[in-house]
Each structure stands twice: as structure tokens, then as C-alpha cells.
């Protein structure tokens, strides 16, 4: 499955909880990039330039990283992608990777929240995490990119009939409950 949502929507938090509950591995492209930055790897050095500015890492880099991650053994029982795909090009690429592996998406979940709430949450989080991309100018830019590019991704899955929307406003447990209900009742591609 996929979990898609604007920065600050809580997708990482919910992805971890879904992963525990369903026993499928959660793969966050943002977390992988941050680990690479921390490790000072060539991929990390490349990604950092974009991340600090709140820009997307180029598809050529991100797609290859995801393809490699999806070839590992722990995805055999299913996986939850958090933060990928977020461009139309990434959707096409993922389609190919899944087709080659004979896999399909069961659930595409969009977590929603309005921009004012997101900015408030992210500025609050900045104090705790010290993430270099959690300052107001960069946050606004990440939100703009979500609206400009990732909403088109959401629209693609909506057209395919695989999209389920969940209201991300509320307590963490409350949202998890909504997410689990949504997964249970989600339209499965190809029918159940
Ligand atoms: P957020 O959703 O709050 O922006 P993430 O942790 O998901 O946080 O991503 C952090 C940063 O990592 C993004 O701003 C971007 O630079 C990079 N990144 C993560 N996923 C992708 C992706 N699918 N495509 C391009 N860049 C990505």
C-alpha cells in the first residue's frame, strides 16, 4: 500500500503504526534519505542539496533507490510506501516496478489536513527534531510542491478507483483508528 499526504500530515507516524498492526514493512523515502545524509554517503550528499531547500530529490535518484529497496527480501509479505510516489514520473516508474514483480497496490491512502494546521504542526515539530527543512520558508515551499505535484499523483489513483481519503486532523490514536477502518474497507484493485 501507499500512504500519501502533505508534509506534517502525520504520514510517517501512521505508517509506523500500520506497519506494526499489519506486519508489513514501512519504507519511508524521507527516512532513507536522512539516513544517507547522516552516513555521509554519496547518495546522501546529493540528496541533501535538495532536502535542505525543500525540493524533491530528482526522480532519477529517488526511483532507483526505491527499486533497489523493493528488491530486498523483507517486502515479500507486502510493503507500505511512505512518501513515494510524489511526482507523476514516480507513479509511472512504480507502475513498471510493480508490474515486473507481478505485484499490485491494494490500498492507496491519502491523509488530509489544511495548510494552516500543517504549518503549525511543522513549526512545533522543528523545536523537537531540529530537522534542517523545518523552518517556515522551506515548509511553505514543501507545501507548495505538494499542491503542485503530489496532488496530481493523488488524482491519478483516484481515477483508478484505488484511493481512500482519511481525515488527518485529530489525536494520533483517533487518526490511527480511522486509518485502520479505511484499510479494511478500501476498494482493492481488481476486486476482492
Ligand atoms: P515531508 O513529507 O515532511 O516533506 P519526508 O521525510 O517524507 O518529509 O521527506 C523529506 C524530504 O526528502 C523531501 O522534502 C524531499 O527532499 C525528499 N524526498 C522524500 N521522498 C521523496 C520522493 N518520493 N521524491 C523526491 N524527494 C523525496
Burial (CB < 10 A; 0-12, 13-18, 19+), residue 192, is exposed
Inter-CA distances, 102 with 76, 99, 174, Å:
12, 5, 35
Helix (H, G, I), strand (E, B) or coil at 41: coil
- Decide the pairing of beta strands 108-112 and 163-167: parallel
Rounded to the nearest angstrom, the distance between the alpha carbon of 30 and the centre of ligand 1 is 5
Average pLDDT in the 94-110 region?
Answer: 95
Residue 191 has pLDDT above 60, yes or no: no
pLDDT tens across 44-85, in order?
A: 999 999 999 999 999 999 999 999 999 999 998 899 999 999
Active-site amino acid positions = 11, 86, 125, 131, 142
Average pLDDT in the 141-157 region?
Answer: 97
- Take atom 10 of ligand 1 and give the residue whose Cα is closest: 30
CA atoms within 13 A on the CB side of 93: 19
Look over the chain and give the mean of its residue pLDDT values, rounded to a whole number. 94
Rounded to the nearest angstrom, the distance between the alpha carbon of 68 and the centre of ligand 1 is 17
Q: Can you give the C-alpha Rg of the chain in angstroms?
A: 16
Rounded to the nearest angstrom, the distance between the alpha carbon of 56 and the centre of ligand 1 is 6
Helix (H, G, I), strand (E, B) or coil at 104: coil
Q: Is the CB of 179 under 6 A from ligand 1?
A: no
pTM of the model: 0.94
Amino acid at each position: 500500500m501507499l500512504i500519501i499526504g502533505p508534509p506534517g500530515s502525520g504520514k510517517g507516524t501512521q505508517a509506523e503504526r500500520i506497519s506494526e498492526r499489519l506486519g508489513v514493512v514501512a519504507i519511508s523515502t524521507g527516512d532513507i534519505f536522512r539516513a544517507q545524509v547522516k552516513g555521509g554517503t554519496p547518495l546522501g550528499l546529493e540528496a541533501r542539496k535538495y532536502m535542505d531547500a525543500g525540493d524533491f530529490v530528482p526522480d532519477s535518484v529517488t526511483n532507483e533507490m526505491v527499486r533497489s529497496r523493493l528488491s530486498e527480501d523483507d517486502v515479500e509479505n507486502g510493503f507500505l510506501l511512505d512518501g513515494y510516489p510524489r511526482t507523476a514520473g514516480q507513479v509511472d516508474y512504480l507502475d513498471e516496478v510493480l508490474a515486473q514483480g507481478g505485484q499490485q497496490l491494494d490500498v492507496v491512502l491519502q491523509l488530509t489536513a489544511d495548510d494552516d494546521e500543517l504549518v503549525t504542526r511543522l513549526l512545533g515539530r522543528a523545536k523537537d527534531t531540529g530537522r534542517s527543512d523545518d523552518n517556515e520558508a522551506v515548509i511553505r515551499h514543501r507545501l507548495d510542491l505538494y499542491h503542485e505535484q503530489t496532488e496530481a499523483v493523488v488524482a491519478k489513483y483516484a481515477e483508478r478507483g484505488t484511493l481512500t481519503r482519511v481525515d488527518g486532523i485529530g489525536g494520533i490514536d483517533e487518526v490511527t483508528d480511522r486509518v485502520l477502518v479505511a484499510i479494511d474497507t478500501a476498494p482493492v484493485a481488481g476486486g476482492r
